[in-house]
Structure 1
Amino acid sequence: MNKVVLCSLIVLFAMSCKQDKSDNQESAIDFNQLLKDYNEEGYQLNPMNATRAGDSRFNDKFPNNLSETYKAKKKAYYTKYKDTLAKIDDSQFTDTEKMSKAVLEWDCDINLEEMSFQKDLMPIDQMWSTNLDFNQFAGGTNAQPFKTVEDYNIWLTRVDAYLFWLNAAQDNMKKGMETGYVLPSSLIVKVIPQFEGLASDDIENNLYYAPVKNFPETFTDAEHEEFTKAYTNMVANKIIPAHKQMANFLQNEYLPVGRSSSGITGTPLGDAYYAHQIKKYTTTNMTADDIHQLGLSEVARIRSEMEAVKEKVGFKGDLKAFFNHVRTNKDLMPFTERSQVIAFYDSIYNVMKPQINRLFGKQPKTPFEVRRTEPFREKSAAANYNPGSLDGTRPGIFFTPIPDVLTYNVFDKEDLFLHEAIPGHHFQISLAQENKELPDFRKTLWFSAYGEGWALYTESMGEELGLYKDPYQYFGMLSAEIHRAIRLVVDSGIHSKGWTREEAIQYSLENEAESEEDITSEIERYMANPGQALSYKIGQLKLRELRTRASEALGDKFDIKEFHNQVLETGCIPLQLLENKIDNWITAYK
């Protein structure tokens, strides 16, 4: 071969390599744009998600997600991205890009599967429905901003759209009444007061009037007058009548046809819907029977640990009697003012701080606060965490309901803080939102088995964080864990084994220290949203399994901070994808 031919071949080969590299770069750029488009279109489809993330562009929007037009648009959205992903070769992708593709595929599939069911014929319940989410924005203390004249005008527009949705919800419920898609009567009676509370003629104490009481200092007298008039009109002529109408409908038309059955199998949704819910909330292929048996096993294991604590504190009597003792022990109800409850949580954080650095390398920059749950939802709400904004300007907030401060029992509150606040949801959600390597859609995506599994996993770290020194607080942690194990039993019992509400309440009373009032609220929560309650324990057990696997495989090389980094840096992902990631990390680390 002469030199000219050889040189020509070398040039052609170099050009080919350059073109391949260019093609790969173009593919990566296209994929990155795809992820941006998915997030952008997702915000347009769900503007409330954009508001929660701190994106203000859609703060006036509230689409009617019950309409056929909206559902067609939603189906087309997920189908388009699912079909596009199938055509993408990810062989040259980075690990983060491969993970993003797998997560996006899973998200599209589970949402398309969910759309095959007519759950929207039961659009309102006592805990999970859109109206409750929207109400949280109304008081001016949550994600919806009330800082400018435009903000105040925008909210009036969004309220009008929400009231249109509320009418559509009533229409859907009427269709559900004709076809067997109705709530249990025991849930309907809990919904009615929520609407009655916003139907009161006391305008100035209505939740939707609250922004008038907190005008920004920059507002002029004329703006004060303008928005006081506008918001008074909105509350008097829109909010109050709409909520009165819904309360009357629920009381006089919906409640009389409410069903006596407790489980979802009492509706046309049936077993197929529950199987879907298990998959959605656990991100596994477990069956209802698998979950029920696992729950029974975990309840038995945790009860044995509880027996040891009972013996340690010298209580004479059986475990059920000890539960009653803990529920009613006035020494565990030390507060007389709600401000003392908030101070108590602050003290927990101060105890933990020295240990945090030893266990966590990556820690969030997003600020954090503890607040009392808003009174309008306090009686029926559980403690919860509201994420901060993506830009970190709005803090993460741990909300705790304090309906009666004199009976606020602290025995289980150290582990509650670990779960809802630090290092639970605040660490997990904030670190994902702050991670610049993650595409935007993964910063706000939520898979319950991972998110709630992480939060429950952190409860077991209390001793490592300097907590649970009081045996009653350790018992509180066990109580919280058995509570999640009980969920596996009663959720599957209600929705797949024909258990009644009363049977589920009784099983819980026999196996945990919560009050009957709290247990009843919990059981009704599971009735309203089948499968969600399974996610905590399934996720926690998987994280414990992965930590043990890594520790045993790596021996002296195991670094707990790096393990936590590996888990947290991904954001929320399905459990199988997390397991694959940790296995690859173990292999590489060895």
Structure 2
Amino acid sequence: MTPIFRLCDDYITRSAALDPVSAVYQGLSGDFGVATDYSPDGHAAREELTRSTLAELATLEPTSEADRAAADHLRERLEAQAAYYAIGEPYRELSAPFGLIASLRDSIDLLPRSGDDAWRKVAAHLAALPEQLAGWRTTLSAGLDRGLPVARRQALGVADQADKYVGTHDELVAGYGDGPVAQELGRAAAAAHQAYAETARYLREQYAPRAAEADGVGPERYAVAMRDMLGDDVDPHDAYAWGWAELERIEGEMAVESAAILPGASLDEVSAHLDATQFVAGPEAYLAWLREQHDRAIEQLDGVLFDIPEQLRTVDVVLNPGSTAGSPYYTSPSEDLSRPGRTWWPLGGREKFATWSDLTTVFHEGVPGHHLQLGAVAVAGEKLSRFSRFSWISGHGEGWALYAERLGDELGWFSAPGTRLGMLAAQALRAARVVIDIGVHLDLPLPDGSRWTFEKACAVLRERGRAEAHTVHAEVLRYFGWPAQAITYKLGERAWLEARAEAQAKPGFDLKAWHTAALDLGPLGLGTLKQALARL
């Protein structure tokens, strides 16, 4: 192992010791403890690790192309983290629905459960939740004292989320049964539920009255967020204008597709028709349909446009009835591959599930989307540094997953009634995300000169982004609390498509070989992605 690869490995090990919750979420092998310190001292320790690793990296010279790539990636990611710390972002780590409290809760569900020893670790992680939430509250209060408030809307949104988590670990406890760990599990779950309730009260009664009124984060924080999410410096004003143009282009394509389904009908009428005719009823039927679509995608792609390793030829499809998220999501395999890659599907209180609109998301979250991309990294072994195997750049990852949806269209997979319109609606959603996110956080005007509000963002997402009604509030809340993440899908897809177009112009282009080589690169910032792909 070269000094640079050793430094990458050492950083992951030390980072996991300082943040065991993230280690669980990432599926790292090893025993790193059960609790992350979310107090100011914990954040200071992680910041020091970032800075000391950057300082050590500066003393090392790459000895190969793999070394250079590992060093460049480590430096770019840690510099983005350093900027995050420099503007005090840990003191404002409060966002719904995909924020810290969701990560804490979901990390419990990702723990192994085979045997009583594994269940004792589950109980220990549950028992550590109150202390972790207390440390988080201490940091948030310190942020208020430093003049670093988060928007009141996020505080109240997370309070609602925390309330909904009360009681959600009871199913986990019941699933264990009456074995020797039952009482320990029950006590830990009860303490965790009490901590959720206490956090909800704190956010409503203590934090919200001192929170910020404005939802937007402003140009300084947005620039840092863009760099972190994209791995590139992009002009947000250019991206805002491109987002509106892209939304209009997609709407034109949707109109053509809609007319082919019900000539003369509006998009809302066509959507209502499809909702009434292209669905499955009940969670069990939905789960069966999802599994069938995941399996079919793997069968049709393996050996054709991808060589899918044996370990990745199954996706664990999970319904998530207690989720407060508006959208499905993916969690990658563990480092030792004992935990499979999973797609998680919120039910949103529904009993009918529109298959015409959900098919495209199967390809996004599963195959050829996140499961192939993150799975390829998981099975890469020593070809990639350990840091590369366990880092994530949203522009790279979400851009690939949106490219995967586009690839499904190119392969003719949207032949069932309405499914191509569903894919286009998902594209419109992602374009709407670009304009909502940039417009809100930088306070840019809409084309008609009006200004963004939460209600205006919901209307644009529903009417032009074609979002399903049950997802709109959670989606917009997410954009307002997680700046620059929502833009990564379309801007990332644009980078992937541009890179593929350049490769296709070369003699002897082979799409399967290109896919393999592209995924073998591991995660890259958009600033270096096209350069790296051009060298393939």
TM more than 0.5: yes
Counterpart residue number, 1:406 = 351
Distance verdict in 2 for CA 1:56–1:39, change over 3 Å: closer
| Structure 2 letter corresponding to 1:446 | W
- Once the two structures are TM-superposed, the CA of residue 195 in structure 1 deviates from its matched residue by 2.2
Q: Distance in 1 between the 2:22 and 2:145 partners?
A: 32
Are residue 252 (structure 1) and residue 205 (structure 2) matched?
yes
Gaps of 5+ in 1: 1-27, 200-205, 266-270, 586-590
SS of equivalent residue, structure 2 residue 317:
strand
Counterparts of residues 368-379 of structure 1 (less than 5 Å) = 368-377=314-323, 379=324
The answer as to whether partners of 2:101 and 2:162 remain within 8 angstroms in 1 is no
**Which residue pairs with 2:448 in the alignment?**
none
Q: Which residue of 2 aligns with 1:109?
A: 79
Aligned length: 527
In structure 2, the partner of 1:524 is: 477
Match of 1:50 in 2: 23
- Residue aligning to 1:392: 337
Q: What is the aligned-residue RMSD (CA, Å)?
A: 2.4
Residue 74 (structure 2) pairs with residue 74 (structure 1):
no
Give distance in 2, aligned partners of 1:251 and 1:34: 43
Partners of 1:235 and 1:470 in 2: CA distance? 45
Offset of 1:558 from its aligned partner? Answer: 0.7
The answer to whether the aligner puts 1:155 opposite 2:131 as a matched pair is no
- Give the counterpart letter for 1:77 in structure 2: L
The answer to whether the Cα contact below 8 Å between 2:20 and 2:34 also exists between their aligned partners in 1 is yes
Separation in structure 2 between the aligned mates of residue 170 and residue 576 of structure 1, nearest angstrom: 36
The answer to whether the 8 Å contact 2:316/2:340 transfers is: no
Find the partner of 2:497 among 516, 519, 544. 544
Moved over 6 A (4+): none
Shift of 1:211: 4.2
Match for residue 87 of structure 1? 59
Aligned pairs (5 A) from 1:492-531: 492-497=438-443, 499-531=452-484
Task: State which of 115, 128, 133 in structure 1 corresponds to 2:98.
Answer: 128
**Structure 1 residues 292 and 129 mapped into 2: Cα distance closer, same or farther (>3 Å)?**
same
- 1:18 corresponds to: none
Please name the residue that 1:41 is paired with.
14
CA deviation after TM superposition for structure 1 residue 468, in Å = 0.6
Q: 1:413 is aligned with what amino acid?
A: D
Within 5 A, what are the aligned runs for 1:214-293? 214-215=175-176, 224=179, 226-236=180-190, 238-265=191-218, 271-293=219-241
Percent identical pairs in the alignment equals 20
User: What does residue 286 of structure 2 align with?
Assistant: 341
1:561 to 496, 512, 520: 512
29, 34, 37: which is aligned to 1:61?
34
Structure 2 residue aligned with 1:9:
none
Contact 2:348 2:470 in 1 (8 A): no
Distance change (3 Å), C-alpha of 1:343 and 1:375: closer
Q: Secondary structure at the match of 2:408?
A: coil
- Structure 2: any 5+ residue segments left out of the alignment? 445-451
Cα deviation digits, residues 202-256 of structure 1 (max 9, x gap): xxxx33344433339xxxx8xx2x42222222233x2233223222223333344
CA contact (8 A) 2:403 2:497 kept: yes
Distance 2:310 2:522 in 1: 13
SS in 2 for 1:58: coil
**Aligned equivalent of 2:157:** 190
Task: Check conservation: 2:363, 2:404, Cα contact below 8 A.
Answer: yes
Rate the CA distance shift 1:54–1:248 in 2: closer, same or farther, 3 A.
Answer: closer
Residue in structure 1 matched with residue 447 of structure 2 by the alignment:
none
**1:362-395 deviations in whole A, cap 9, x for unaligned?**
5462353353443322x43410011111222211
**What residue identity is the alignment partner of 1:30?**
P
**Is the CA contact (8 Å cut-off) linking 1:327 and 1:515 kept in structure 2?**
no
* Aligned-partner Cα distance in 2 for 1:143–1:303: 39
**Secondary structure, counterpart of 1:371 in structure 2:** strand
* Alpha-carbon distance between aligned partners in 2 of 1:358 and 1:135, rounded to the nearest angstrom: 39
For the 8 Å contact 1:128–1:528, the answer to whether it is kept is no
TM-score (norm 2): 0.91
**Are the equivalent residues in 1 in contact too, given 2:94–2:154 (CA < 8 A)?**
no
Match of 1:22 in 2: none
Which residue of structure 2 lines up, in the alignment, with residue 16 of structure 1?
none
